């Protein structure tokens, strides 16, 4: 996936998210509050774990013990959810486009040796299976059981980049495994100048077509037309 516009969008996202992370990472991660104590911030990650994972265990674990599962989080920010995942799943891999967010996420998971946070290029997962060949072996041998993303794709202005992530997850997810993620479902003004804040939106047919193109079954969806439009993509 080349293209000048994509390259420009990636540069803009990296620069803007680094700036936001240095200014006040936790505020930009969850804008409801300006100042977050450690306790409040990580409690909000725990609430996300309860709402999106613990309430949905049959789809996510499919009978597996969570402690036996390898999971991926795309766009981990300052480690709010990553830390909650670290205490619940066996192995956690997380990526983020911003070096400063990655630094803060690594700090958040100090004491959790089962958790690995990578700085990535904003469009694929080669940070996991590419540069770390020696560690993980070839890409096809690196497999995850579940992938997750929240409040990330709603900020990505390009459907091509979002779809590329879906294809990338397909490469490393085990057959039958779930990629549960949230996109913008509300028809936003995509001409908004700050393109690293207002992301592309998806209608239900667009989401379903993307699932088909990328080798997934879109089995469930929730919140079409809303900012928090949740998609359950099961790998065929």
Ligand X SMILES: C[S@@+](CC[C@H](N)C(=O)[O-])C[C@H]1O[C@@H](n2cnc3c(N)ncnc32)[C@H](O)[C@@H]1O
Residues that bind ligand X (CB under 6 A): 13, 17, 29, 75-77, 80-81, 95-98, 101, 120, 122, 150-152, 155-156, 161
Q: How far is the CB of 94 from ligand X (least distance, A)?
A: 9
User: Whose Cβ is closer to ligand X: residue 75's or residue 177's?
Assistant: 75
User: Whose Cβ is closer to ligand X: residue 77's or residue 185's?
Assistant: 77
Name which of 95, 94, 197, 219 is nearest 153 in CA terms: 197
- Specify whether the CB–CB gap between 167 and 214 falls below 8 A: yes
Q: How far is the CB of 170 from ligand X (least distance, A)?
A: 17
DSSP character for 97?
S
User: Whose Cβ is closer to ligand X: residue 24's or residue 175's?
Assistant: 24
Q: How far is the CB of 63 from ligand X (least distance, A)?
A: 27
Q: For residue 118, give Cα distances in angstroms to 122, 171, 187.
A: 11, 18, 32
DSSP conformation letters of 103-120 = HHHHHHTTT-TTEEEEE-
Residues 179 and 173: their CA atoms lie apart, in Å, by 8
Tell me which residue has its CB nearest to ligand X.
77
User: Whose Cβ is closer to ligand X: residue 116's or residue 155's?
Assistant: 155
Q: How far is the CB of 91 from ligand X (least distance, A)?
A: 18
Name which of 64, 68, 66, 95 is nearest 82 in CA terms: 95
Q: How far is the CB of 100 from ligand X (least distance, A)?
A: 9
Q: What is the dihedral of CA 186, 191, 196, 198, to 10 degrees?
A: -20
User: Whose Cβ is closer to ligand X: residue 48's or residue 114's?
Assistant: 48
Q: How far is the CB of 110 from ligand X (least distance, A)?
A: 17
Q: Which residue, chain included where needed, has tokens 């789809």?
A: 59
User: Whose Cβ is closer to ligand X: residue 46's or residue 59's?
Assistant: 46
Residues 28 and 19: their CA atoms lie apart, in Å, by 10
Cβ of 234: how many Cβ atoms within 10 Å?
A: 19
């Amino acid at each position: 996936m080349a293209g000048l516009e994509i390259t420009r969008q990636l540069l803009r996202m990296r620069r803007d998210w680094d700036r936001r992370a240095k200014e006040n990472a936790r505020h930009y991660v969850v804008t409801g509050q300006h100042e977050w104590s450690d306790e409040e911030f990580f409690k909000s990650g725990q609430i996300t774990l309860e709402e999106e994972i613990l309430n949905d265990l049959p789809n996510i674990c499919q009978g597996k013990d969570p402690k036996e599962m390898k999971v991926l989080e795309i766009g981990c920010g300052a480690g709010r959810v990553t830390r909650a995942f670290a205490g619940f799943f066996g192995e956690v891999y997380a990526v983020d486009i911003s070096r400063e967010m990655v630094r803060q996420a690594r700090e958040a998971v100090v004491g959790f040796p089962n958790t690995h946070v990578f700085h990535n290029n904003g469009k694929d997962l080669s940070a996991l299976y590419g540069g770390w060949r020696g560690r993980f072996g070839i890409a096809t041998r690196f497999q995850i059981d579940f992938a997750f993303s929240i409040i990330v794709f709603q900020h990505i202005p390009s459907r091509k980049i979002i779809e590329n992530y879906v294809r990338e997850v397909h490469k490393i997810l085990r057959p039958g495994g779930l990629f549960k993620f949230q996109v913008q479902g509300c028809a936003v003004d995509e001409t908004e100048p700050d393109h690293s804040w207002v992301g592309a939106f998806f209608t239900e047919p667009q989401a379903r077509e993307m699932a088909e193109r990328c080798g997934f079954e879109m089995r469930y969806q929730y919140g079409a037309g809303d900012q928090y439009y949740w998609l359950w993509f099961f790998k065929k």
